[in-house]
């Protein structure tokens, strides 16, 4: 069923208060999401190469248990490595032919860590625990049933929206800058465990950033606070170039710091992530699939990362809902904003949602009823291409956190 209607709420930009969060590359929750999805991509590739199709798997249960380190001004050492638990279900073989699931998963996890966390050695600083088993007969049978499009393996709801508000854009851009090549070249003594919290109150934007400095590059408390001030000045300059419609933008960095308390008053890290000794991580506790945690927006509850890309609507519909919302705004005249709600029913083909609801914010002089047929065509067109979209998901072409 498809239903197109006018959005009845107040546009987020017209609300007095907006709160938006983003957890960056090295945050323990983001590590879990990213690694589990990297494993799903690697398994999908292996299944295609070995069997010509993507088989049942859900690598969406993951826990990163924090390790222990000794750190101080000038350096430190790892006392106990982090432990990554990789869990849930996978297909280990078909028609007498086996596939090394744990080896593929371990290699994918190490590859992601090696690529994205400069100071973490995936062989020395992290151990791996596997809790993977074959799936149930009923759910694995979905992949043996005839038909080009898979049946949904769950009754699940998802929501997406477009466009991002200026606050959301600012939060997303700031974290990407902090973990981007330009900034890391300027400040190689900063870690990847970045968290950005944005608060817009009317037309003023207040940003709170947490980001560790690497202890092997900081020899004293004074040097720490000197570098912190240089970083804050650079970020203030970066934000001033954004041209966002805020009357005032303020930024605070590492607000737990307190001069005069030595190691207890500074945010230092040996490896660049708080998972080294302070904070564990878990799949599904981080960013939504558009990279944000938007407190004032409708958001889904599914953990998309690691779910299989062919039948698990908890992944497919969450990513697709945002894509559909954007396509509606980009291709239908008069639409300035869109929310898309999708609902699956277990067993139904994933290209046949139980409900696809588009809620439209219209430009002045335009009505949702005038474009309803055109929006329905957009939804129908995109669902007719669902297999191509799912294969792109399988290749990791869409972010999920």
In a domain, 209, yes or no: yes
Q: Where are the beta strands (DSSP E) in 150-227?
A: 157-162, 195-201, 204-210, 213-214
In a domain, 241, yes or no: yes
In a domain, 61, yes or no: no
- φ, ψ for residue 159, nearest 5 deg: -145, 145
Give the pLDDT score at 301: 87
Give the pLDDT score at 135: 79
In a domain, 310, yes or no: no
Digitized pLDDT (tens) for each residue of the chain, 401 residues in all: 999 999 999 999 999 999 999 999 999 999 999 999 999 999 999 999 999 999 999 999 999 999 999 999 999 999 999 999 999 999 999 888 999 999 999 999 999 999 999 999 999 999 999 999 987 777 777 777 777 789 999 999 999 999 999 999 999 999 999 999 999 999 999 999 999 999 999 999 999 999 999 999 999 999 999 999 999 999 999 999 876 689 999 999 999 999 999 999 999 999 999 999 999 999 999 999 999 999 999 998 899 999 999 999 999 999 999 999 999 999 999 999 999 999 999 999 999 999 999 999 999 999 999 999 999 999 999 999 999 999 999 999 999 99
In a domain, 250, yes or no: yes
Give the whole-angstrom CA distance, residue 216 versus residue 219. Answer: 7
Give the whole-angstrom CA distance, residue 337 versus residue 151. Answer: 31
In a domain, 270, yes or no: yes
Domain that includes residue 236, residue range: 16-23+166-278
Give the pLDDT score at 242: 75
**pTM (2 d.p.):** 0.96
Contact by Cβ (8 Å): 104, 42? yes
Give the pLDDT score at 146: 75
- Domain count across the chain: 1
In a domain, 172, yes or no: yes
Q: Is the torsion defined by CA of 269, 271, 274, 279 positive or negative?
A: negative
348: nearest Cα among 156, 137, 153, 146 = 153
Query: Which residues lie below 8 Å from residue 266, measured CB to CB, with a gap of 6+?
Result: 213, 218, 221, 224, 225, 254, 257
Contact by Cβ (8 Å): 267, 195? no
Give the pLDDT score at 149: 87
In a domain, 322, yes or no: no
Q: Would you call 134 helix, strand, or coil by DSSP?
A: coil
Strands 57-65 and 68-72: unpaired
Give the pLDDT score at 300: 87
The CATH number of the domain where 260 resides is what?
Answer: 3.30.300.340
Contact by Cβ (8 Å): 66, 80? no
């Amino acid at each position: 069923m498809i239903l197109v209607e006018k959005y009845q709420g107040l546009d987020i930009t017209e609300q007095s208060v907006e709160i938006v969060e983003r957890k960056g590359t090295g945050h323990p929750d983001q590590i879990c999401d990213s690694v589990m999805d990297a494993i799903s991509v690697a398994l999908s590739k292996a299944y295609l190469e070995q069997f010509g199709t993507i088989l049942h798997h859900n690598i969406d249960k993951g826990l990163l248990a924090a390790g222990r380190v000794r750190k101080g001004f000038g350096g430190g050492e790892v006392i106990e490595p982090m432990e990554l638990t990789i869990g849930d279900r996978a297909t280990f073989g078909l028609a007498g032919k086996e596939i090394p699931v744990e080896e593929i998963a371990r290699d994918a996890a190490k590859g992601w860590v090696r690529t994205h966390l400069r100071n973490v050695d995936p062989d020395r600083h992290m151990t791996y625990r596997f809790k993977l088993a074959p799936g149930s007969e009923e759910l694995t049978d979905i992949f043996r049933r005839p038909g080009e499009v898979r049946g949904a393996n769950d009754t699940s709801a998802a929501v997406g929206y477009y466009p991002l508000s200026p606050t959301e854009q600012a939060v997303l851009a700031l974290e990407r800058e902090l973990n981007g090549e330009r900034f890391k070249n300027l400040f190689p003594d900063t870690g990847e465990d970045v968290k950005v919290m944005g608060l817009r109150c009317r037309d003023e934007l207040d940003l709170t950033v947490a980001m560790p400095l690497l202890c092997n590059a900081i020899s004293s408390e004074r040097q720490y606070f000197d570098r912190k001030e240089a970083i804050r000045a650079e970020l203030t300059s970066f934000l001033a170039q954004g041209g966002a419609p805020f009357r005032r933008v303020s930024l605070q960095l590492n607000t737990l710091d307190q001069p005069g308390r030595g190691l207890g008053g500074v945010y230092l890290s040996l490896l660049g992530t708080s998972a080294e000794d302070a904070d564990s991580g878990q799949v599904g506790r981080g960013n939504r699939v558009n990279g944000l945690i938007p407190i004032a927006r409708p958001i889904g509850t599914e953990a998309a990362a690691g779910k299989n890309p062919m039948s698990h609507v908890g992944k497919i519909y969450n990513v697709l809902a945002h894509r559909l919302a954007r396509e509606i705004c980009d291709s239908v005249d008069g639409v300035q904003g869109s929310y898309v709600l999708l609902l699956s029913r277990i067993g139904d083909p994933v290209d046949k949602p139980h409900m696809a609801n588009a809620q439209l914010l219209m430009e002045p002089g335009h009505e949702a009823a005038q474009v309803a047929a055109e929006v329905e065509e957009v939804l129908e067109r995109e669902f007719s291409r669902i297999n191509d979209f799912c294969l792109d998901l399988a290749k990791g072409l869409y972010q999920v956190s």
